[in-house]
Amino acid sequence: MKDPDHRSEARLYLAGFGLALTLTLIPFALVHWALLQGRTLAITIAVLAIAQIVVHLRFFLHIDLSRQKREDLQLILFTVMLLAIMALGTLWIMGNLATRM
Amino acid sequence: MSEHNLHPGLNLGARHGAAHEGAETILFGFWIFLMSDLVIFGLVFASYLTVANPTGAAGGPGPAEAFDLRSVFAQTVILLSSSLTFGFATLAMRHETGRRSIASWLIVTLFLGIGFLAMELRDFAHMIDVGAVPSRSGFWSAFWGLVPLHGVHVTVGCLWIVVMLIQLATLGLIPVVKMRVLRLGLYWHFLDLIWVGIFSIVYLGGQMR
Amino acid sequence: MIHTIFGRLDLSSLSLWRAIQDPTVSELVAAGAATAVLLGALVTVSLLTWFRLWGPLWRDWLTSVDHKRIGIMYCALALIMLARGVIEGVLMRTQQAFGLHGGFLTPDHFSQLFSTHGTIMIFFVAMPFIAGVINYVMPLQIGARDMAFPVMNQISLGLTATGAALVMISLVLGKFATGGWANYPPYTGSDFQPGPGPDYWIWSIVLAGIGTTLSGINFAVTLYKERAPGMTFLRMPIFCWTVICTSIIMIFALPPLTVAALMLAADRYLDFHFFTNDLGGNMMNYVNLFWLFGHPEVYLLVIPAYGIFSEVISTFSGKRIYGYMSMVYATMSIAVLSFCVWLHHFFTMGQSANINAAFGIASMAIAVPTGIKVYNWMATIFRGRVRMTVPMIYATGFFYLFVIGGLSGVMLANPVISYQVHNTLFLVAHFHNVIIPGVLFGLLAGYHYWFPKAFGFRLNEGWGRAAAYLWIAGFSFTFLPLYWLGLHGMPRRSATFSDPAFQPTLWLALFGAVLILAALTCLAVQLWVSIRDRDSLTVPLGDPWDGRSLEWSIPSPPPEYNFAMQPQVAARDDFAEAKTKSRAYTEPEEYEDIEMPNNTAIGMIICVCATLFGLALVFWMWWLAALSFLAIVLSITLPTFLTETTHVIPAAKIAAEHRAWLDKVKDASAVDRLEETQESNLGRALLERPTRIEAAE
Ligand code: HEM
Ligand SMILES: [Cu+2]
C-alpha cells in the first residue's frame, strides 16, 4: 500500500469495521449477561441494529449525504418506505387478527 | 473520495476509463436488484414475526432450546470480517495494486464465507437434533424459510467469488471483470446487512422470550 | 425405476387418455382443448418447416436482443394467450347460462377454467402485452438505441414464455389448479389438492415473475440512464412516466408474490407449515402476501394503459397533453398509493373495523388522482383537431366504461358494501369493468397506434372499427348485467345456480360474450386483411398520425439502431416542435459508427431449460429438475467468459440508409389529417395549423 489515498481509504474501512464490531458486541453482551430485559432490551437491540446498518451503508457501501449523486440514496429511502408500508402493515394486520381469534 | 462519484458503492475512479463509466449503469441496475431482494427478505422477516408466538410454535421446541448464541456470535464476526476483506479487494482493484493482491483478498473472503457456512450448517444440524425442523411448527417453518435463505445467498456469493477468481486468471482485469467484482462487492456487503437483521431479530430476539 | 424417471407422470395424466376412459362432456371438452394445443403446435412446426422459416425465425427473432423484436414477440405471445383466455371466458359464460341446476361442465372443470382464465389473462395476456408495448415504444420515445441490458431483456421474455408454456402444457399433461388465480391455501395445500394442479400454478407464476422483476429493473435503468441528450425527466412523454411507475411496481410488488408462492411450494414439497391448518400455520398471511402483490399488480397493468391513452388522445386531438405536470404527479401518487390499499381485497377476513376503515379510506383516495387524469384527457380533446380513428374509438369507450368501473370500485372500497357483495358477481363485473375497458382497450389502442411504426403499414381501418365497436358492445352486454346479478346475491366461481330469476340476465351476458368472440374474430381478420393489402397501407416515411414524440421521427419500421444519429432534445413533444420549426428530417453533418449488441441464444436456452425445470418439479422428476437447473446456471455463467459481445455498424452504411430515407421524405407529398386513413398517407404529415402548435415549456 504505497498510495496515500489507498491507505486512507483502507483506514476508513477499518474504522467502519471497528464501529460495526462494537455495535455487534454490545447487544450480544446485553443478551448474554442479561443486562437488560423486556421492552428496553428490544428497543436497544433495534436501535443498535439500525445504527450498525447505517455504519455498513456508510463505510462499506459508500452511501453518504454528499451532494453529487443522490439517486442511490433516494432509491434506498424509497425502498425503505415501501418496505415499511408492507412489513409494518403485515405486522399490524396479522397482529390484529391474532388478537381476535 | 474526492473525485466525482458516478454511482453508489466504491467508485473505480476516472483513471479506469470505460469500466468506470460503464459501471454507472450496471451498478445502478444492480442496486435496484438488491432493493428488490431486500423486499423479499423484509417480507420473510415480517412473516417470521407473525408466527414468533405460542400459536406459531404449536407446542414445539422454542428458540432458546435450539439456538447457540456463541456460535452465532462467531458467525457474525466472521461475516463482518469478510466484508472488510472484500473491501480490501475492491480497494486493491481501485488502486491497481495488481491482480495478485485482488485475488488474495478474494480468496481470504471466500474462506471466511465458507467458514461462516460451515458453522451455520453445524448449527442447523443441532437444530434438527432437538427437533426444531420445519415440519414441526409454523415457527420453525418461518425460521427455516428465513435463515437458510440468507445462507443460500452466501453460497451463491461464494460461487460467484470462484467464478471471478477464474475470470481474473483467464480474462485478466478487463472492464467487464472489474464491473463484476464491484457488483459482487455490493452483493457481499448487502448480505452482511441482512445478517444484522437476522442476528438482531431472530437470534437475539429469540433469546428474549 | 419407472417412478424415478417419470416421477408421478403416468397415463392418467394425459387428458386425451382420461377422455377415452371416461367420455363425459366435460372430459371431451378438456380433450378437445388438448387436441387444439397439440394440433396448433403441429401445424406451426410443419408450416415453419414447409416454408423453411426455422433459420430466419432463429436468427432474426428468437436470438435477437433488439428491444423492438423482443417487444413484438411479447405482443404475439399475449395475443395467442388472449385467444385462449377469451375462449375460456365464453365457455364459462355458456356453462352459467345453462347452469340452472346443471349445465354441461363438472364443477371441477369449471374451477379449472376460471383458474386458468384468470391466471392467463393477468400473467400471460395483460403483463406480456404491456411488457411488449413498453419494450417497443419506450426506448424509441427517449431516444435510446436499446434497453440498458439487452440480454437480460431477452431472458425476461424467455421466462415469461416459460410460464405461458407451462400453462399450455397443463392442458395436455395433468390438470391445472382449481384454486382461482390467487390460489389460496389451505385449499391449494397438499392436504386438499395433492395433484399437480397447484404446482403448475406455482412454477409458472414464480418463473414468469422473476422475468417480470428483471424487466422492471431493465425499464427503470433504461429510463434513468439511457435518455438522449436534452431529454430531461420533465420532457419525457407521459407514457414514459407511466413506465417509471410500472417498473417501480414490477420491482417492489413482485417480491411478495414470489415469497407467497415459494412458501406455498415449501408447504407442498417440503412439509413446511407456513399456511397449513395445523401446527401453527397461518393461511391468512398468504392472503395478506398475495394481495401485497395483487393490488399493485392491477396498477402495474392499468398505469401504462393510461400512458397509451395519453399518447393516443394527444396525437389524435392534435394537441399537447393538457396538464402535463398534474399527469406526472397523479401517476406517481397512484403508484405509491397502490402499495397502501391491499387489504380491501380481504375486508371480510376478520380484522378490526378500524383497520378496515383505514384501508377503505386509502382505497377511495386513489379516485382523486385518477379523476384528475380523466379530466386532463377530456381537456386535451377539447377544441382539438379530433379524428375518430380506431384508437380514439377505444379511448371513447374507455372514458364511459372505465368511469363506471372506477365508481363501482369506490363502492367496493367501502367495507360495509364490500361485506354485502364480497365473492359475488358484482366483483367480477367490477374488475372486468376496469380491466377490459382500461387495460385491454388501452393495449388495443396502442396496438393500432404503433403497429404502423413497427411494421411499416397501417392496420385496416374498417375491420378495426368493427372490432372496437364489438368490444365495447360485447363488454357492456357481458359484464354490466353481472352487477345486477351480484347485487342479487349470485356468487362468483360457481358452475351452477338455483334461482330461476337469474336465467334471463345470464342469457344476456352470454349474448355479450358472443359479441366479444366476434370482436376477437374481427381482430384476426383485420390482421390478415392488413397483411394482404400491406402495399396500399404502407407508411415507410414513419409519421402517419402527425405524431409528437421521437418514435415518429424515424422510418417505419425503424432500423436496428433506431436513430441514425443521437437525437438532441430541446422540448417536450420534441418531434412536434421540430416539425413546426423545420428542424425535423435534417441530415447530420457527420455520421458515426454505432456499436450494437450481438445476438445470443441465452434467452431461448433458459426458456427451454426453465420449462423443463418447471415440468420436472410439477411431476416430481427430481433428476430432470437438477439437470435443468444446472443447465440454467451454466447458461448464465458460461457466456460471461465471452468478451466479444458487440458488433459495429459502419457509419457509411448508416449514412446511406438515412440519406435514402430522407430523400424519400423530401419527395413525398405531405398529407393532411383528412387523408390520414387513406392510401395517400405514406407517413409524412402536413403541418395544418403551425401557429397553434406551441412548444411546451
Ligand atoms: C374477454 C372476455 C372475457 C370474458 C368473457 C370473461 C369471463 C370471465 C368469467 C365468466 C369469469 C368467472 C367468473 C366467476 O368467477 O363466476 C372470469 C373470471 C376472471 N377473469 Fe375474465 N373474462 C374476460 C376477459 C378477462 C380479461 C381481459 C381479464 C384480465 C386481463 C380477465 C380476468 C379475470 C380474472 C382475474 C378472473 C377471476 C378468476 C378467479 O376467479 O380466480 N378476464 N372471467
Ligand atoms: Cu385492489
| pLDDT reported for residue B2 | 37
Measured from the Cβ of residue C399, the count of other Cβ atoms closer than 10 Å reads: 17
pLDDT at residue C291, rounded to an integer: 97
**Chain segment C460-469, per-residue pLDDT in tens:** 999 999 999 9
Is the domain of A10 the same as that of A27? yes
Residues C221, B134: C-beta atoms closer than 8 Å: no
Q: Helices C602-618 and C622-637: crossing angle, nearest 10°?
A: 160
The confidence score (pLDDT) of residue C696 equals 43
- Residue B1's closest chain A neighbor by CA? A9
Q: By the 8 A CB rule, do C58 and C599 touch?
A: no
Residue C432 CB–ligand 1 contact under 6 Å: yes
Domain count, chain A: 2
pLDDT at position A2 is 65
Predicted local distance difference test score (pLDDT) of residue B9: 63
Dihedral pair phi/psi, residue C648, rounded to 5°: -110, 130
pLDDT of residue C399: 94
pLDDT < 70: residue spans in chain B: 1-10, 209
Rounded-to-10 torsion of CA C507, C513, C517, C519: 120
Q: Tell me which chain C residues have a C-beta less than 8 angstroms from the C-beta of A93.
A: 288, 343, 351, 355
Residue B11 near residue B22, CB atoms below 8 Å: no
More confident residue, C27 or A99: A99
> Quick check: CB of C181 below 6 Å from ligand 1?
yes
Burial of C11 (0-12, 13-18, 19+ CB in 10 A): exposed
- The residue in chain A having the minimum alpha-carbon distance to the alpha carbon of residue B32 is A75
pTM comes to 0.95
* pLDDT at residue C674, rounded to an integer: 86
A73 and A50 share one domain: no
Model confidence at C691, pLDDT cuts 50, 70, 90, reads very low
Task: Assign A1 a pLDDT band (cuts: 50, 70, 90).
Answer: low
Q: Is C246 within 8 Å of C216 (Cβ atoms)?
A: yes
Top residue of B33, B141, B178 to mutate, by most chain C CBs within 10 Å, is B141
Pick the residue from chain A with its C-alpha nearest to B197. A49
pLDDT of residue C22: 81
Provide the pLDDT for residue A55. 94
- The residue extents of the domains of chain C are 53-600+645-675
- Residues A23 and A57 reside in one and the same domain: yes
CATH superfamily, region C53-600+645-675: Cytochrome c oxidase-like, subunit I domain (1.20.210.10)
Instruction: Return the pLDDT at B3.
Output: 47
Which residues of chain A make contact with B53, given a CB cutoff of 8 A?
A: 98
How far is Cα C256 from Cα C292, in angstroms, rounded to an integer?
6
Say whether pLDDT at C73 is over 50.
yes
What is the DSSP code (8-state) at residue C436? I
Atom of ligand 1 nearest to the CA of C494: 16
Region C563-588 average pLDDT = 91
* Domain coverage including residue A18: 1-62
Tell whether A56 and A76 lie within a shared domain: no
Q: What band does C3 get if pLDDT is binned at 50, 70 and 90? A: confident
ipTM score of complex: 0.95
| C385-399 average pLDDT score | 95
Which ranges of chain B does DSSP label H, i.e. alpha helix?
18-51, 54-57, 63-66, 69-94, 99-129, 138-170, 175-197, 205-208
pLDDT tens digits along C487-538: 999 999 999 999 999 999 999 999 999 999 999 999 999 999 999 999 999 9
* Residues in C touching B40 (Cβ below 8 Å): 255, 258-259
**Residue pLDDT, tens place only, C414-428:** 999 999 999 999 999
Task: Give the model confidence (pLDDT) of A38-50 as tens digits.
Answer: 889 999 999 999 9
Average pLDDT value for residue range C657-677:
90
> What ranges do the domains of chain B cover?
14-206
- Classified by CATH at the fold level, domain B14-206 comes out as Four Helix Bundle (Hemerythrin (Met), subunit A) (1.20.120)
Instruction: Pick A97's closest partner by Cβ from C289, C292, C350.
Output: C350
Q: What is the pLDDT at residue C695?
A: 45
Read off the pLDDT of each residue in C139-167 and give the average, rounded to a whole number: 96
Counting ligands in written order, which one lies closest to the CA of residue C293?
Answer: 2
CB of C518 within 6 A of ligand 1: the answer is no
